[in-house]
Structure 1
Amino acid sequence: MGFIAEVRLAHDELVLVPTMKRQPDVALRHEYETVCDGNRVQFVSAFGDPDGRLEETMRDDPTVSDPTRVVAFGQREIYRFTVETGLEVVPGRCVEYGLFVFAVTSDRSGWTVRVHLPDRDALTAIRRWYRDRDVSFRVMQLCESAAPDDGTYFLTDNQREILLLAYEGGYFDVPRGTTQDDLAEHLDVTDSAVSQQLRRAISRLIAATLEKDRTVDTVA
């Protein structure tokens, strides 16, 4: 049967963590990694960079080099860079432990990884691997893999709350029945915090639902 876990990883030397700390409003999603001329090359999607400062911020990030914006699709931009840190977000050891990675997304100052584990022993082993390297390892969600895969458990409690509040208040209606200021006042947070949570929640839902059904033909 196994388990599905959502784990938050934090360490200053994890790839792009310095960038996340400087631009916490930008949501990142790891796409894939390859090896080119002996170097680890990664691709990530970025959401919510209206000022276009992300590439400049990446250039000052010691965990990466040669960041380049490859293409943009509406609010989504894809970046390529060379990894300059030896601390892995998803180590090769995951294969040995029988883990399957669904998605890797940023969380302001760390990475959130959604994985399938064959058993609790695998969770214990991979937790030990990270903690031996001083990486903070925090299980945010854990459920049996037989649970319905509607994607909602991929959201944090705060993200689920704000999405429901926005939906029920008519935030997504045309015209809108409520505003970000209204949501912020109701939750007693700043307008910026509401904007961040909404973007991250929507990005995670897309990663957990729509994105997994896309093919090369549909992208083209």
Structure 2
Amino acid sequence: MGLVAEFQIDCDALPLVSVAAAVPEASITLSLQYNHGRRPVFLATVTGGSEQAIERAFTDAYDVQEWTRIGTAGDTRRYQAMPALSFEEQLGGQVDDLDGLEALATADAIIEQITVTTDGWEQMGWFADRAAFTEFASFWQQNARFRLERLTQDTEPKPPGNGLTDRQLEALRTAYEMGHFEIPRRASLDAVAQELDISASSLSERLRRAQTQLIEETVATLWPPLPE
């Protein structure tokens, strides 16, 4: 029976982490397009953050050779970025087993969602069985910091907000219970952050990522946008 896993890989050498670090208020989801030679092209969907800050971060990113904005829908922009580095140049300083990394591409798994964070990647994937997941998790446990957020059978129904991490759920619940979302607000961002014992900037990023995930699950803008 298959498994669905949600996990965090903390590795600042992963693609586009420098972009997320430069504009932490933005939410960046990433997919990899493997039909452009040995190194996949980066396809990034960015929500939030200023257009100028995001595009400056792409220009400054050490792992991006060139980028193109493909389109815009409201506060969401899509980019295609050509990698500037080989796998060895990108990850060789932190990942010893590069052959093992490439082997993961042929594992019995599908990585359905990648969210780029300031520390690494948050991912959700489907694994054919426990052995396939163990192979994947063991590799990253040996080469980076791997944190499993949720592991379920693929036949189990998904609760609303299934794509949220435990930290995002905690941030949303605490902010809601303290009245941060009420009009007028009963609790400031600083007050909620103090309750969670994190910085206001970290809380702002966590809430934005959680809200973006919920929007994508429910009322996300269709892509491409419908004609008016």
1:168 to 177, 190, 193: 177
142-151 vs 112-121, which moves further: 142-151
User: What stretches of structure 1 of length at least 5 have no aligned partner?
Assistant: none
- Partner residue of 1:199? 208
Q: C-alpha offsets along residues 176-217 of structure 1, whole Å, 9 cap, x if unaligned?
A: 44332332343343322221111011123334x237x87657
Q: 1:115 offset after TM fit, Å?
A: 0.5
Structure 1 outlier segments of 4+, above 6 Å: none
8 Å CA contact 1:15–1:85 kept in 2: the answer is no
- Matched residue pairs, number? 216
Q: TM-score, normalised by structure 1?
A: 0.78
Match of 1:210 in 2: 218
1:110 equivalent to 2:120? Answer: yes
Residues 1-150 of structure 1 aligned to structure 2 (within 5 Å): 1-33=1-33, 35-36=35-36, 40-50=40-50, 52-87=52-87, 93-94=103-104, 96-130=106-140, 134-150=143-159
Determine helix, strand or coil for the equivalent of 2:203: helix
Deviates more, 1:103-112 or 1:43-52: 43-52
CA 1:70–1:16: 2 relative to 1, 3 Å: same
Aligned-partner SS, 2:49: coil
CA contact (8 A) 1:2 1:144 kept: yes
CA deviations 1:60-114 (Å, max 9, x no partner) are: 222112123333333322222102333399x775564321222110121201110
Deviations 1:119-144 (A, max 9, x none): 11001222355567x34443232222
For 2:115 and 2:21, the matched residues in 1 are separated by 14
**Structure 1 pair 218/22, CA: closer, same or farther in 2 (3 Å)?**
closer
- The answer on whether the counterparts of 2:161 and 2:213 sit within 8 Å (CA) in structure 1 is no
1:13 Cα offset (Å): 3.4
- Aligned-residue RMSD, C-alpha: 3.2
Are 1:14 and 1:85, in contact at CA under 8 Å, matched by a contact in 2? no
Aligned to 1:154, the other structure's residue is in SS state: coil
CA deviation after TM superposition for structure 1 residue 163, in Å: 0.6
Residue identity (%): 25
SS of alignment partner, residue 35 of structure 2: strand
Map of 1:186 onto structure 2: 195
Structure 2 gaps of 5+ residues are 92-100
Compare 58-67 and 166-175 and name the one that shifted more: 166-175
- Matching residue's letter, 1:84: A
